[in-house]
Chains A and B, each alone.
Chain A
Amino acid sequence: MAFYIARRLLLALPALLGLVFLTFVLSRVIPGDPAATLAGDAATPAQLAEIRAQYGLDRPILEQAVIHVRQVLTGDFGRSVFSGRPVAEEIAQRLPATLELTFAALLLSTLLGVPLGLVAALNHNGPVDHLVRVLSVGGLAMASFWLAIMLQLFFSMELDILPLRGRVDVEIGMPPLRTGLVLLDSLLAGRGDIFVDGALHLVLPAVTLCLPGLATIARFTRSGVLETLQKDFVLYARAAGYGRVRLAAIYVLRNAVNMVVTQIGLLFGALISGAVAVEAIFDWPGLGTYAVQAILSADYKALLAVTLVVGVVYAVVNVLVDVAQALIDPRVAEDAR
């Protein structure tokens, strides 16, 4: 298993290195003269030359590429044009918020999607089944930013039962930060009030974000269960006297879940994309709002750093998915050898 994990990590490396290279090309080639961008419009030729020397822009392009890669690998993304602070620091500060949101959404879509898909499959062509079909196509067609606004309109503005924006109420304040995850940190600090408040703030963004995932997971659970139910081993298990509930909920589901787990890797991309808009709407202080802010202030260093970090998180999630698959189905790791 350890061998398998190492192998999967190695396979993800070339794409990530390529991404680093791509960000270099983007940052040096597309904006025209980066020195001019950095120095601003009013810079004198002397200032420009100084900046070129300072950033190594006067060196051969290949050497610059090597320097860029080295900087990125050591976690040096440069300074934000907008705030003047190191980009790496700002990202480290914001990443936990995005992770908390996306994992909450992923959890929600799994906890709802798997039972929905299972029930739909067991009632094949019944009312629940049709509902799940509509939901699974509709969920993927819904623009997250629009759903977010509609939910805000209804639950926060009309009914006023859920907070409109933010991560915790300003008056309650953040818990002492250890992991950067509000729910976890508030529990670590023994602050039940922050936990409840944080959870309430999480509801709308997570619900918005979970919809595409819920749709996908319900759909793949459904087809996975339907496919598994056709297998001989299910007939055998019934004949051998397995209980009905156990048969459906564990015996069949575990086979079906394998197809679902593959989807979770792909889903994570959709989640991160959705998070950009959802965070902007709910003022969620994560990478999404950071990216939007970077766009609006033309902070290309911040933007490229976000791209890279998201790429790394994406790769890690996909490796985790592969590992989970190997744990669920022992044949996966062996076939890969």
Chain B
Amino acid sequence: MTALRHIFRDPVAAFGLLVVLFAVFVAIFAPWLAPYPDDAFESHLLQRLRPPSMEFPFGTDNLGRDILSRVILGTRNALVVAVSVVLASMLIGVPLGLAAGWKEGWMSEVLMRVTDVFLAVPQLILALALGQLIAPGIGAAMVALALTYWPFFARTVFAETRRLRGALFVDALAGIGASPARILFLHVLPNAAPAILVRATIGMGFTILTAAILGFLGVGAAPPSPDWGLAVSEARQHLPEAWWFPTFPGLAILLLVLGFNLLGDGLRDAADPRLRRSRR
């Protein structure tokens, strides 16, 4: 738990952790925290586009829904999407990276070339193409994001496995007859865990941002979902009058991504002192 202590000693990283924990809390208790929990789906045309007030701190949107409630409810969506995408990419990328890193040969060569192909196009573009071809909607967008993000995990784990395979203790384990699977999952994987964790944290921020872009472009979440990116997109037709409409969902994206990025930075520093360059 030295990593955690390191995070707390670094005020900036601690702030990131705080934001993330806060977001998780909000996501879990969203229906109880939101002043108008049913506003994700109901519309009240009589109170359209009201500016921020005591009644509606963030104002109301084009269908008269409370924006604060929708931002709170949207937190859950954003986190669920990001966690699922990152977990799915991990499930694909980590075993492939382990396998390719452990055994040299044409299989590992092919695998790494495949990651090259996926990394040859910016993730968003690939996700757009994939998501559209599978089927429009948030489900397909999530699949597409996972399909474009796994190579990052594969690369990270591959590098760690290659590094550890040369380590003395792995030789010793092989010498006493431990099976490769046992060595990989009980010894190599825990050692690669910090790198995976850092990659996952940064991936969370990245996925939230990319998913928001997809939502904004109309390829991700569909109405009446309280998705933040979608809300900004819906707000465009009501500018410049309803300035509050795009502002608050956008700030929510900024804050949450900032939280994950700061936390990721802090974790990276804690995991590898050699990389502490960034805040020297």
Contact = CB atoms under 8 A, between A and B. Distances in A.
Instruction: Judge A-B direct contact (beta carbons within 8 Å).
Output: yes
B280 A223 contact: yes
A141 interface: yes
A30 B253 CA distance: 32
Interface string A262-292: 0000000110110011001100000000011
Contact of B254 (A146, A277, A303, A315): A146
A137 B261 CA distance: 7
A143 B217 contact: no
Interface in A6-59: 14-16, 18-19, 21-23, 26-27, 30-31
Given A140-B261, A272-B122, A295-B219, A223 B277 contact: yes
B253 A277 contact: no
Nearest to A16: B120
A223 B274 CA distance: 13
Given A146-B250, A146-B254, A292-B217, A15 B133 contact: no
Contacts of A149: 232, 235-236, 239, 246, 250
B229 A269 contact: no
Interface stretch (A74-82, A152-160, A176-184): A152-160
Nearest to B240: A157
Contacts of A22: 117-118
A304 B124 contact: no
18 contacts: A16-B120, A18-B113, A19-B120, A21-B117, A26-B129, A26-B130, A137-B262, A141-B254, A141-B258, A143-B216, A146-B246, A149-B236, A150-B247, A157-B240, A270-B122, A292-B217, A310-B121, A314-B121
Interface in B255-280: 257-258, 261-262, 265, 277-280
Contacts of A291: 125, 128
Interface string B123-166: 11110111011101000000000000000000000000000000
Contacts of B171: none
A315 B120 contact: yes
Given A137-B262, A146-B246, A149-B232, A14 B113 contact: yes
Contact of B239 (A140, A152, A226, A311): A152
Interface residues of A, number: 57
A307 interface: yes
Given A27-B133, A143-B209, 17 more contacts: A15-B117, A15-B119, A21-B117, A26-B129, A30-B134, A137-B265, A143-B213, A143-B229, A143-B257, A145-B212, A149-B246, A153-B239, A223-B278, A226-B280, A269-B123, A296-B218, A307-B121
Interface residues of B, number: 53
Interface in A157-213: 157-158
Contacts of A14: 113, 116
Contacts of A306: 125, 129
Interface in B199-213: 205, 209-210, 212-213
A141 B261 contact: yes
Interface string B81-122: 000000000000000000000000000000001101111111
B243 interface: yes
A217 to B, nearest CB: 14
Nearest to A226: B280
Given A157-B240, A219-B278, A276 B113 contact: no
Chief secondary structure at chain A's binding surface: helix
A295 B213 contact: no
B235 A311 contact: no
B240 A276 contact: no
A67 interface: no
Nearest to A269: B122
A126 interface: no
Interface string A293-320: 0111010100110110011001100000
A97 to B, nearest CB: 16
A257 B136 CA distance: 42
Most buried by A among B120, B126, B236, B250: B120
B7 to A, nearest CB: 15
Contacts of A281: 236
Contacts of B205: 141
Contact of B132 (A272, A303, A314): A303
Nearest to B232: A146
Contact of B216 (A27, A137, A145, A294): A145
A133 interface: yes
A227 B113 contact: no
B235 A31 contact: no
Given A277-B216, A303-B128, A150 B113 contact: no
Contacts of B124: 272-273, 276
Contact of A276 (B217, B236, B239, B253): B217
Contacts of A31: 133
A145 B239 contact: no
B122 A295 contact: no
A235 interface: no
Contact of A19 (B121, B123, B209, B265): B121
